[in-house]
Amino acid sequence: MLKWTTSGESHGRALTAIIEGLPAGLTVDTAEIDRYLALRQSGYGRGARQKIESDRVQILAGVRDKKTLGSPVCLLVENKDYANWEAYMSPYGADTSARRLTQVRPGHADLTGLRKFGQTDARNILERASARETAVRVAAGTVARMLLRELGIEVCGYVREVAGVSDEKEYTAEQLRGVKDTPLFMPDPALTERAVAAIDAVREDKDTAGGVVEIRVSGLKSGFGSCMSYDEKLDGHLAGAVMGIQAIKGVEIGLGFEAARRRGSAVHDCIYNENGKFVRRTNNAGGIEGGMSNGEEIVLRAAMKPIPTLMRGLDTVNFETGEPCRAATERSDVCAICACEVIVESTVCFALAQKVLDRLGGDTVREIAERYALLP
């Protein structure tokens, strides 16, 4: 069984991920992991933290001479900002009276976490709840991407909407090549220009913006997931994994909510026999029917809420005194939709790799590839 566990705080020494269940013989390219880590820090609207951190992965275990051994793989991404926070965050003794946070922020884990874990300083909550943790998830997800690629499965994505500027056109995977070289991962230059202006207006108001990302999976054969048990459904597995990302408030596959607005004749993908091969001429289901991949391209969209840390703060109360106040402001982004796209993409890679290994098993990459090749 493929699984991952992450650890680390936003301003702690480092973030780590342990991946269990990877087959032996997978080539791990750290340069590719670093490229996706850099993409996670890119995009118009990012904040000052990205100027401090320049993320690089370190492999601590499970890989020798760039090949996985079949043992757990441990990845580490250092927090360079820890140098400025060691006095307040050190596990060996820290000044917990400094950098204390009691002006709990709406939209964050602060208040609920304080009450759940019996704390009096929201820093003990926000440090782990922070989206900084996703850096190491991107690293682990990129390793899963390498495994999928061995089978001919490719995952890509783009920003479909940001700051109220939406791209309603449909693109092929080929048309999305190079989209991550653009300021907002949007294929249309005119819409990119409008979106940049919209983010600038949001920044002027000391506000934040969210958006929608779309992920595409090509090369996945039919039959992954199951209709026999609800907890084995592929769409449920993917949606659950993506909803586990900070700031994601909605996931849809294929037409998603649009399917509820149409008649059935305009929703379901008719099946045809072309030279002995079953085909669909539309893909409204987004590549998943009955909880199983049907061999078509998987199309998944995720909605990211605006970042809840606003530079002008929001109305709240002081957890300690109960008095009304303005929410505390941590260093933050105006818009992190590009980071969101990379994180969702990486998460989908890992979730898909889990389903692939659940079905195929195998101790080595070669064994898994041979089994995949035999599938219709």
Q: What is the pLDDT along the chain (376 residues), one digit of tens a residue?
A: 999 999 999 999 999 999 999 999 999 999 999 999 999 999 999 875 555 668 999 999 999 999 999 999 999 999 999 999 999 999 999 999 999 999 999 999 999 999 999 999 999 999 999 999 999 999 999 999 999 999 999 999 999 999 999 999 999 988 999 999 999 999 999 999 999 999 999 999 999 999 999 999 999 999 999 999 999 999 999 999 999 999 999 999 999 999 999 999 999 999 999 998 999 999 999 999 999 999 999 999 999 999 988 888 899 999 999 999 999 776 678 999 999 999 999 999 999 999 999 999 999 999 999 999 999 9
Alpha carbon distance 262, 123 (integer Å): 47
CATH for 3-374, options being 3.60.150.10, 3.40.50.1820, 1.10.240.10, 3.40.50.2000: 3.60.150.10
Crossing angle (nearest 10°) for helices 134-150 and 337-360: 50
Buried b (16+ CB within 10 A) or exposed e, 30-44: beebbebbebbbbbb
Alpha carbon distance 277, 181 (integer Å): 38
Q: Please report, as a single letter, which amino acid is at residue 303.
A: A
pTM for this model (two decimals): 0.96
- In 3D space, the residue among 158, 145, 133, 146 whose CA is nearest the CA of residue 341 turns out to be 158
Contacts (Cβ under 8 Å, ≥6 apart) of 259: 267, 284
- In 3D space, the residue among 13, 96, 6, 26 whose CA is nearest the CA of residue 369 turns out to be 26
37, 107 contact by CB (below 8 A): no
The helix (H) or strand (E) run that includes residue 52 is helix 49-52
Alpha carbon distance 327, 309 (integer Å): 8
